Chain A
Amino acid sequence: MAMAKTRDHLGRPVVAVTGMGVVSSLGQGIDDNWAALTAGKSGIHRITRFPTLHMRTTIAGTVDFLFPDEVRSPVLSERLAHLAAAEAVEQSGIGAPGDFPGMLFMAVPPVEIEWPARRDFFAGTDPEAGDAYDRMIQRVLSLNDPDTYEFALYGCVADRTADHFGTRGAPISLSTACASGASAIQLGVEAIRRGDTEAALVVGTDGSVRIEGLVRFSLLSALSTSNDDPERASRPFSKDRDGFVMAEGAGALVLEDYDAARARGAKILGVVRGIAEKADDFHRTRSKPDGSPVIAAIQQALDDGGVSTADVDYINAHGTGTPENDKMEAMSLEAVFGDALKGIPISSNKSMIGHTLTAAGAIEAVFSLKTIAEGLIPPTINYQNPDPAIPLDVVPNVARSQPVSMVLSNSFGFGGQNACLLIAAEPA
């Protein structure tokens, strides 16, 4: 007997989530993360992995509890990705170990040779051989170190992950700054909707808290300098918010064609109902003052999902805690939702886990699904000093028990990246 195919309001296949996994500064695995997140715990602490002398910011949400030693960023990004993806694949029960029957979409941080390697290459070279780079080039030609070489390639982490999980075809490495995790999910959703694959492994990972990364964000005045009280440093939507806190982590989702997932008896954790993206042409780091690109992204996500603002009962904010982001995000939401916005809970996971950059969109999608499953909304912690210009219900400081069936999850990034996901409970 042929089953009727499940289709969305535009006649497209429905995209289900059947597995998820997460690592953050709060812990490894969904359970530990969820317990800490809903208890309002912060994962932010002083940086001990490298010396922070001369740094304006000396705190971060690193994953030292798992990997205390300094390793190359892509190595850490790979380790975190594998932990999150393994949890997601296991929960979904899809395929067999090392044999994932679908494509891989992976948000990974940009890669480069880091200072410890650069110093190694430079040490003992011949000053007569030219400038510093000539000297290092001469040296690496005789080193023949394939491992260091491969981890300096942009495609390496995704390729190794594809090897490890046995995904199909060439993996895609996404880099859309702080929207990367959401972009990866969007790529997976689109591939399933057009029937290219019945399953996709989607991962966002970031293990790149390093000295130069810290300096870079610092120079752009993006980071909180509330070093004295790390757990209170990330203060989204507060009047005294002073920037985001860099953090590490990974989130992973197994996406599947809804009918295929049902046919194999998989438990459906939710669906990705709508996706949207809208680029901003205003400035490299600042949003257009009228908010129109963010507004368009939110509106398009609702349209793509075929729902109205009244259907959204929780917003998982980008909520970085920078003065500009939170203001812009609130203003744009208000433009779309109007007065009804005041009645919709909106919270920022970043108040607790910090800003996991490339991984954020994926991690926050996982937490959004968990919010739906548990009927429990994680709080925005450190909300002692409300910003009167942002009159939102930010679920202050304490988690709230409340049924949720549709979440809007926002992700915005440098370079005019605005991505929105509409994540919903399984269709009845």
Chain B
Amino acid sequence: MSAPNDVLVTGIGLVSSLGEGLDAHWQAMAETGARPHPAETDKFKPFPVFPMVPLELEKQIPRRADIRQMETWQRLGTYTAGLALDDAGLTGDAERLARMDMVVAAGGGERDLDVDGQILAGLETAAEPASFLNEHLANDLRPTLFLAQLSNLLAGNISIVHKVTGSSRTFMGEEIAGISAVEVAARRISAGQGDLFLVGAAYNAERKDMLLSLAMGRTLWQGEPASVWERGTTAEGGMITGSAGAFLVLESRAHAEARGKSAYAKLSAVLSGRSRRGPGDASAVARKQFDQLSARFGAKAPGVLSGANGIAAATAEERGLWEQLATEGKIGGVRATQTLIGNPIEAAFPVQVALAALAIARHGFYLPTDGSGIEQPAETPAQILATSWGFWRGEGMALVEAAD
């Protein structure tokens, strides 16, 4: 059953602590089931972080001046967007790029930690603290830092560097922003409101300012990395954040066929939801999403790429849902990708969809990375459910399957 307005994934850019590109991710997650590079457990103590592999930024951001104008998350995102465009065969295709629509999920606000530290120290002894603060903000902040902090300047930089200049929307709001970004692009394609989209996000986990915000909510795992499900069984659990960039080229079937482009997979549906996260709330949302998608399931039960993050309450709840559905024979294998990649927040859902599309395209699935019983050896799925539950709020689910 194919239709001209089917939503196809025709390009993927993916970078994380596991490496650059689809082969690196496939190797780590489907062939070895292990992290090729160690976690960073020292620099951000007490929190472990999964750091970005070194990238040759010039390969996707040729002008040094552009690189200088960005902070790390923007560089990661602009780089990854370039990979996705390359992969989709769109690099340099001025006509198509000029009408390509963009939806980016972003946090923002990378701060100058040294300046903050100096000001905080100075405020302690300043005779007139308010005056001291004003004077030092006015004199010490780099004039262009603001542009590296604005949430929509990742999209802005993608326009400048890669010439994607249709509409440009930036969604904020942690994981749900990534879910909504993919959802809105897919819905627009289905409804004929555009036929070519660049969608994605990037996250720099190696930032103490962001760790400070997350630490306020006691959301972060401390100590040696452990699998998502193991972390989820401890008292509070916790997430490990991971640097990552994930961009998808989404395209209507008609548009892809007209330019002779094959697809990794079809994005059959994306659902976003929210709850106040009372006990059972999130799993009720996810169960409703599952039931809504189940009309599209084939003979073989779908595999699950879980976005569980290791925070105890939500992880236990999500695990309960999958165990229940497994008992009912309604799902195949379950894999939690954040065990190896960590939580890249706004990029979490784009990463999930990218990995699901990759597995569909390669007719395989990922290896179990957890010994606690939920991740079992499984048949290769013909359909994959990709989920993301926000560390605070927001629940999303996508159904990915073969394009043909």
Count residues of A near B (Cβ-Cβ below 8 Å).
Answer: 83
B193 at the interface (CB under 8 A from A): yes
Minimum CB distance partner of A53 in chain B? B131
B109 touching A111, Cβ below 8 Å: yes
Residue B82 at the A interface, CB < 8 A?
no
The listed residue (B123, B166, B394) touching A170 by CB distance below 8 A is B394
Chain A residues with CB below 8 A from B152, complex form? 175-177, 413-415, 417
A36, CB-defined interface residue at 8 Å: no
Residues B138 and A416 in contact, CB atoms below 8 Å apart: no
Known: A136-B212, A216-B141. A175 touches B218 (CB 8 A): no
Question: A110 touching B393 by the CB < 8 A rule?
Answer: no
A54-88: CB near B (< 8 Å → 1, else 0) gives 11100000000000000000000000000000000
Q: Which of A52, A152, A217 contacts B134 (CB 8 A)?
A: A52
Residues of A within 8 A of B45 (CB): 134
Which of chain A's residues has its CB closest to B118's CB? A132
B146, A220: Cβ atoms under 8 Å? Answer: yes
A-B contact list, 25 entries, CB within 8 Å? A52-B134, A53-B135, A55-B134, A112-B111, A122-B123, A141-B215, A152-B213, A154-B151, A154-B174, A154-B177, A155-B177, A156-B392, A159-B274, A175-B108, A176-B169, A183-B169, A187-B184, A190-B193, A212-B141, A219-B143, A279-B102, A281-B160, A414-B150, A414-B152, A417-B152
Q: How far is the CB of A130 from chain B (nearest CB, A)?
A: 8
Q: In the complex, what distance in Å separates the CA atom of A133 from the CA atom of B176?
A: 27
Question: What 0/1 pattern do residues 167 to 191 of A give for CB contact below 8 A with B?
Answer: 0011111111100000100110011
A119 touches B123 (CB 8 A): yes
Whether A149 lies near B172 (C-beta < 8 A) is: no
Report, nearest first, the 3 A-B pairs whose CB atoms are least far apart. Answer: A155-B173, A415-B156, A132-B117
Given contacts A141-B215, A154-B177, contact A169 B273 (CB under 8 A): yes
Q: Which residue of A lies closest to B136 (CB)?
A: A54
Whether A140 touches B188, Cβ cut-off 8 Å, given contacts A119-B123, A279-B167, is no
8 Å CB contact of B188 from A162, A174, A194: A194
Q: Given A53-B130, A187-B184, A194-B188, are A173 and B159 neighbors across the interface (CB < 8 Å)?
A: no
Interface bracket on B: 35 or more
Q: Does B211 contact A (CB under 8 A)?
A: yes
Shortest Cβ distance from B289 into chain A, in angstroms? 11
Q: Do A132 and B120 form a contact, CB below 8 Å, given A143-B216, A144-B218, A280-B159?
A: yes
Q: Does B55 contact A (CB under 8 A)?
A: no
Q: What residues of B have a CB within 8 angstroms of the CB of A339 in the complex?
A: none
Query: Which one of A50, A176, A187, A212 has the highest number of Cβ atoms from chain B below 10 Å of its Cβ?
Result: A176
List CB contacts (< 8 Å) of B272-308 with chain A: 272-274, 276
B121-156 residues at the A interface, CB under 8 angstroms: 121, 123-124, 130-131, 133-135, 137-138, 141, 143, 145-147, 149-153, 155-156
Whether, in the assembled complex, B170 has its beta carbon less than 8 Å from a beta carbon of chain A, the answer is yes
Bound Cα distance from A278 to B99, whole angstroms: 9
Find chain A residues with CB under 8 A from B157 CB.
284
Contact of A196 among B159, B173, B187 (CB under 8 A): B187
Cβ of B131 and Cβ of A54 under 8 Å apart? Answer: yes
Check if B168 is an interface residue, CB within 8 A of chain A.
yes
Is B169 within 8 A of A51, CB to CB? no
A215 close to chain B: CB less than 8 A: yes
Is the beta-carbon distance between A154 and B172 smaller than 8 angstroms? yes
Interface residues of A in 99-149 (CB under 8 A from B): 108, 110-113, 115, 118-119, 121-123, 131-134, 136-137, 140-141, 143-146, 148-149
